[in-house]
């Protein structure tokens, strides 16, 4: 047993949760937002254990995990996420010698069937941009159209768009330097139309309070634009366009942009790069087809046999 295990010994579950999250954030495995999400779930698990008189890590067992999952009145998809959170936590406990086995990892996973993901067609996107242009104010129209183009044309996340600073935009080179999850930075090309949208926004930007800051996108109060405000901008445009989908925010546009690129036969690895996905399987969720394309593919199938009798 290593020195850390000697130091920890048997500790309260809530203390183990804190040590786990502190370590994973410190070494960069979990982002701050991921820590907050996991903290909520693990604290809830710790409180459940305490209600069952299970206070220390040495008292944890498989039935405690199963009982906790049974107590949650949530969908199977959410329950699966809980299992993954508990599995990561118990991996840490097992590595530290605080439990003898990762009880969460041996629990059968519920079967889930992912709902069909919404995306917008090219015509719907055209309608959306027209609605945004017609309903935005003179001072916000260029900002809003630029934001929406960043989601559809180069598939940025909302967090990546609102974190852009003026030095990240190299119009003379036709590139953006985009900060991804976990601080990774990628170089993304931009086309002429997108560059012109930046220029139009920069022309109106000095009318905003706080324009001296180097944040690219500003709110009407002159502060850096927040993800919730961007969500409202897109949702309002969708409503004005009469487009109703299950997901009404910027991610719908990012998803739609990636789907349209895939439907045009663009290189999947390049789409993955634009999306900032580390795993190609994540990118596959963004790939869709429509019925007419499917029918045309079947129609292109070569005719085999043609009724000829095969000698036996």
Within a domain: residue 114? no
pLDDT tens digits in sequence order for the chain, 312 residues long: 343 444 445 899 999 999 999 999 898 888 888 888 899 999 999 999 999 999 999 999 999 999 999 999 888 878 888 999 999 999 999 999 999 899 999 988 887 665 566 788 899 999 999 999 999 999 999 999 999 999 999 999 999 999 999 999 999 999 999 999 878 899 999 999 999 999 999 999 999 998 999 999 999 899 999 999 999 999 999 999 999 887 778 999 998 999 888 888 888 889 899 888 887 777 777 666 566 666 666 777 666 655 555 454
Q: Edge-to-edge, what's the strand order for the sheet holding 185-189? A: 169-170, 175-179, 185-189
Query: How many domains does the chain fold into?
Result: 2
175 φ/ψ sector (left φ>0, alpha ψ -120 to 50, else beta) = beta
Contact 147, 253 (CB under 8 A): no
Question: Is residue 73 packed enough to be buried (19+ CB in 10 Å), middle (13-18) or exposed (0-12)?
Answer: exposed
Within a domain: residue 265? yes
In CATH, what number is assigned to the domain containing residue 142?
1.10.443.10
* Stated pTM of the model: 0.63
Structural domain boundaries enclosing 141: 122-290
Same domain, yes or no: 21 and 136: no
Same domain, yes or no: 276 and 191: yes
Same domain, yes or no: 92 and 150: no
In CATH, what number is assigned to the domain containing residue 27?
1.10.150.130
Same domain, yes or no: 96 and 170: no
Same domain, yes or no: 273 and 135: yes
Same domain, yes or no: 126 and 20: no
What's the distance, Cα to Cα, between the start and end of the chain in Å? 71
């Amino acid at each position: 047993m290593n020195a850390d295990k000697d130091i920890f010994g048997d500790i309260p579950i809530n203390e183990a949760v804190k040590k786990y999250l502190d370590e994973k954030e410190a070494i960069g495995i979990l982002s701050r937002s991921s820590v907050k999400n996991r903290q909520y779930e693990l604290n809830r698990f710790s409180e459940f254990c305490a209600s069952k008189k299970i206070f220390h890590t040495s008292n944890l067992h498989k039935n405690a995990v199963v009982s906790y999952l049974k107590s949650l009145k949530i969908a199977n998809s959410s329950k699966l996420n809980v299992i993954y959170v508990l599995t990561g936590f118990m991996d840490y406990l097992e590595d530290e010698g605080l439990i003898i086995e990762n009880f969460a990892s041996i629990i059968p996973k519920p079967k889930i069937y992912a709902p069909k993901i919404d995306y917008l067609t090219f015509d719907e996107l055209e309608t959306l941009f027209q609605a945004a242009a017609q309903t935005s104010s003179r001072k916000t129209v260029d900002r809003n159209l630029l934001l929406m183009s960043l989601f559809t044309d180069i598939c940025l996340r909302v967090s990546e768009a609102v974190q852009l600073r003026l030095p990240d935009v190299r119009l003379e080179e036709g590139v953006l330097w985009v900060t991804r999850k976990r601080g990774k930075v990628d170089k993304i090309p931009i086309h002429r139309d997108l560059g012109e949208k930046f220029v139009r926004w920069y022309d109106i930007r000095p009318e905003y309070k706080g324009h001296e800051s180097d944040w690219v996108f500003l709110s009407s109060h002159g502060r850096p634009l927040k993800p919730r405000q961007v969500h409202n901008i897109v949702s309002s445009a969708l409503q004005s366009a009469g487009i109703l989908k299950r997901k009404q925010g910027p991610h719908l546009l990012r998803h739609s942009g990636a789907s349209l690129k895939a439907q045009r036969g663009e290189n999947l690895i390049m789409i993955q790069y634009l999306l900032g996905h580390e795993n190609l399987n994540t990118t596959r969720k963004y790939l869709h087809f429509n019925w007419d394309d499917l029918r045309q593919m079947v129609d292109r199938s070569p005719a085999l046999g043609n009724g000829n009798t095969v000698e036996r």
